[in-house]
Structure 1
Amino acid sequence: MKNRIIILVLMPFPLCCVMLELKNRKYIVETNQEFVSTETAIGTGKVVSTTACASLCTSSDECCTANYNTSTQDCHLNSCCFPDTRPSENGIIIKKVAKPNIDDIKTKPIDCDDLCQGSREGIYRIFPNGTNEGIDVYCELENGWTVFQQRVDDSEDFERNWSDYKNGFGNLSANFWLGNENIHKIVSGTNYSLRVDMEQIDNITAFAVYQTFNISDESSNYTLTISDHSGNASDALGVCSHGKFSTSNEKGGWWRSDKFPCYFFNLNIRYANLRWRNSYLNGFPLKYVSMKIKRLLLHGSET
């Protein structure tokens, strides 16, 4: 088969990209970029063209992406499909997007766990459940966590209405709620765990992990399902399982159930009143809290 280069006009790929078809393999070619993360590098070689670099990637079953430098003619192979990149005048990223006779190859990250080891912590765009519309999220990449809530100070108002909590608000690098609709899209149809990290004003830290986490769609008020607690912070959130999300009491949106502790426990309440209920923690308010999710592996999930 002859090599073909086809200009792409459909989003979400950037306008600088082209499609390269080589030996029944397809690649997205992105110019003016180079790899940042190298922990998943699997090899390098000297070649004379982008096509030759793609051919090296094709010859390796482990290779998912390659980075070609037009100046040095170095071709770096990488096993990760979604490497962290940075601008580079001479760099070209080559991404393998299909295999022979397979139509459902994942071409975009569905959450932070798809990004390469060694990538920088920060804001990335993910595409949950194969959707074309992306969601900007904050990624903690040491263990692949996708953060959906964070409180660091009192500069953001969390006493908001249903629409705000549905769509999300705040600054992804500081205080924010990702949005119930976005959270539902991420966890829908897949098993996820939840981790809550917290720090009190006296600098004592703690965490709670739940091996099961899910929220339903808007038609059932984003009902929470949560179970299987571990961690050195107590199971304060477990009583909210099967509770429906509510913003009716103007204390910050949260899940409500008929269980007394859940009604008063709320990590979206006014910042000065943040606490993790029924914990070994000594009752001081929290100065920091974040909630994050991660896909469960076949044999469990890292915490």
Structure 2
Amino acid sequence: MAFGSRTAAPGKHRGSSRLSRKTAGYAGIAALATTGVVATIAAPAFAADNNGHSAEDTGQNSIVVADGLQADLQDQVDSQQRAAEAIAVQAQAEADAKQRAAEAKRTAEAAEAKAKSERDAAERAARDEERKRLNAYVAPITGSYVSTNYGAGGGMWASGSHTGIDFHADSGTTVHAVGAGTIVEAGWGGAYGNNVVIRHNDGTYTQYGHMSSLSVSVGQTVGAGEQIGLSGNTGNSSGAHLHFEARSGATYGTDINPLAYLRSHGVDV
């Protein structure tokens, strides 16, 4: 049998030698290093050459890359977290500001409503007081009494009967307007002597006769209880007193019962 070079089995090719594989691995690592790319694929080549016991086979390259990526990711997470916290703080501040503004608005509206209510109440009270003043009636002589009734007969009166009532009063006693109104007559009135006639707000009239002096003039407005003069004994009078009449109109002959008139306005006589 001849000795010579061995011939490979037909159809088969021998794999590259171990040296060739290692050389190719080093070349690949060098190429990656040249391009600045550090990857974990270098580790298997070193592992193949050192039967899995070399330092390159510990996976340190992969750990370094992973740690770098993890740190970057953590920084990004931290940054996003800080941004989210800042947004939350701003949103809370805006919500607090809106709440304070709403509370301030409610407080201002409540204060304005209270002030308006107080103004309205004061205005109503003033109107009520004015209404009472305008509608109030008093007796023409304070603490007096009727000495001659309405309709009494006698020759002292031109109509044959008394057209008013007489209140007992010494000369110089204060005479009051029985209600609010306007003076339409103030001066000498013939048989009535010094007299005053008032047109009241309800359209009725009252007359005050035989006074010693007057303290009002035509066109003047008066309130209930306001002094209009002093009682006396002027005109067709038999002694000091106040002649008081109530009328439905401005002229003589429109007289109405003075007692009923005063009582209908709440005056106790």
- Tell me the TM-score normalized by structure 1: 0.21
| Bigger Cα Rg | 2
The structure carrying a bigger strand percent of its residues is 1
